[in-house]
Amino acid sequence: MELKEIGEFGFIERFSPEFKSLLTKNVFGIGDDCAILPMNDTEDLLVTTDMLIEDIHFLREKITPWQLGYKSVAVNLSDLAAMGATPIGTFLSIAIPPGVDVEYLDELMKGYHAISDRYQTPLLGGDTTKSVKHLAINVCAIGKCPKGQAKLRSGAQAGDVVCVTGSLGDSAGGLQVLLNQLESNEDTYYLLKKHHQPEPRIELGETLVNLNRVHSMMDISDGIASDLKHILKASGKAAKIELNKLPISDQLKRVSQQQNWQPEELAVGGGEDYELLFTLESSLLEPLQRLFLEQFGQTVFPIGVIEKGEPEIHWVKEGKKVQFGKTGFNHFQ
């Protein structure tokens, strides 16, 4: 049987039940953005890992080595942020093909160091090896958060407001800029940068982890159409999302208009935004918006609500139900 018939999650479901019996008390393994392990009386340990493969996740001639180093760490720190953790350190495995020279690697490690320095997260170890043809990078990141407080996907409650921490679809737009070789201007540069150099929402996660009325959280790596479903499945809830409330940047709107893209579809299905997606009690929305604005200059965008029901997303545009499929949004008749 070919892997594409069952997909990544189908593969994981084949083996993960067997490993569950090996779990000890208070250890949470496969199924959230990070694993959670007891560390001491006040803190839990969180661990995550992500692999970037050349010609699958990046094109070596399109992303600078500095950005690749930065992004390798960023996508992992975003998984820590997704549960509210503070980073402790990272581990880098890198498989280097012929033709990748020392100068390239120096630049890659400068990007790696820049984000490590920004989040005070040391590189603690790793593995360096040869590869036949493609550059492969694996980063494992560890972090900590207050004991028992890590935000899970499974806590969403009916009535919760669904929020995101920033504009959606910019990274997917950046990928389109790259694939369609659009000419460089301020707007396309902005989208490309969002694609190549995402910023993990560490400080926001560290704040949200302490708020009991935040019930569930993850980061947006595959697009909310896919990611929000993980929250809904884990929580046994439905959601209603209003397309008009999706935060879409002016840059993406302008480029989309020129290129005849549908920005809502990039926002919903594109992925790699690395914003936080979370649900909270509606009473917390306004105080949180004020707090984030004052403390971080950061807007919190409510985009819908959690409802009772089967784990499905009900998309709404101007009061009407729409359906999101492989070809984008379709109005119901």
> Which residue, 127 or 286, is less far from its own copies as judged by CB?
127
Return all residues near 50 (Cβ < 8 A) that are at least 6 apart.
72, 75, 76, 79, 138, 139
**Least CB distance to its own copies at residue 263 (A):** 27
Helix 170-179 with 186-196: angle, nearest 10 deg: 110
Q: What angle do CA 30, 240, 221 make, to 5 degrees?
A: 40
A 10 A CB-CB count for 183 gives 6
- Stretch near its own copies under the rule CB under 8 A, chosen from 111-119, 145-153, 156-164, 278-286: 111-119
- Stretch near its own copies under the rule CB under 8 A, chosen from 9-17, 168-176, 183-191, 254-262: 9-17
> Which residue, 96 or 168, is less far from its own copies as judged by CB?
96
**Least CB distance to its own copies at residue 188 (A):** 27
Give the phi and the psi of residue 131 in degrees, each rounded to 5. Answer: -135, 160
Q: How far apart are CA 180 and CA 176, in angstroms?
A: 6
Q: Which two tokens stand for residue 144?
A: 């900590």
Is there a contact between 171 and 79 (Cβ–Cβ < 8 Å)? no
- Stretch near its own copies under the rule CB under 8 A, chosen from 34-42, 228-236, 293-301, 320-328: 34-42
> Which residue, 149 or 298, is less far from its own copies as judged by CB?
149
Does 26 bind its own copies (CB under 8 A)? Our answer is no
Parallel, antiparallel or unpaired: strands 43-53 and 35-38: antiparallel
Q: Which of 240, 217, 227 is nearest to 153 (CA)?
A: 217
- Stretch near its own copies under the rule CB under 8 A, chosen from 129-137, 185-193, 231-239, 263-271: 129-137
Query: Site for its own copies (CB under 8 A): which residue of 13, 55, 250, 286?
Result: 55
Q: Which of 24, 50, 39 is nearest to 144 (CA)?
A: 39
**Least CB distance to its own copies at residue 117 (A):** 7
A 10 A CB-CB count for 291 gives 15
Does 183 bind its own copies (CB under 8 A)? Our answer is no
- Stretch near its own copies under the rule CB under 8 A, chosen from 37-45, 172-180, 232-240, 257-265: 37-45
**Least CB distance to its own copies at residue 297 (A):** 26
Does 3 bind its own copies (CB under 8 A)? Our answer is yes
Query: Site for its own copies (CB under 8 A): which residue of 26, 59, 120, 323?
Result: 120
A 10 A CB-CB count for 159 gives 15
CA 3 to each of CA 14, 51, 271: distance values in angstroms, whole numbers, following the listed order:
12, 18, 22
Number of residues that bind its own copies (CB under 8 A): 74
> Which residue, 102 or 333, is less far from its own copies as judged by CB?
102
Restricting to residues 70-89, which ones interact with its own copies according to CB under 8 A? 88-89
Does 53 bind its own copies (CB under 8 A)? Our answer is yes
Q: Which two tokens stand for residue 327?
A: 């070809």
Query: Site for its own copies (CB under 8 A): which residue of 91, 146, 147, 314?
Result: 91
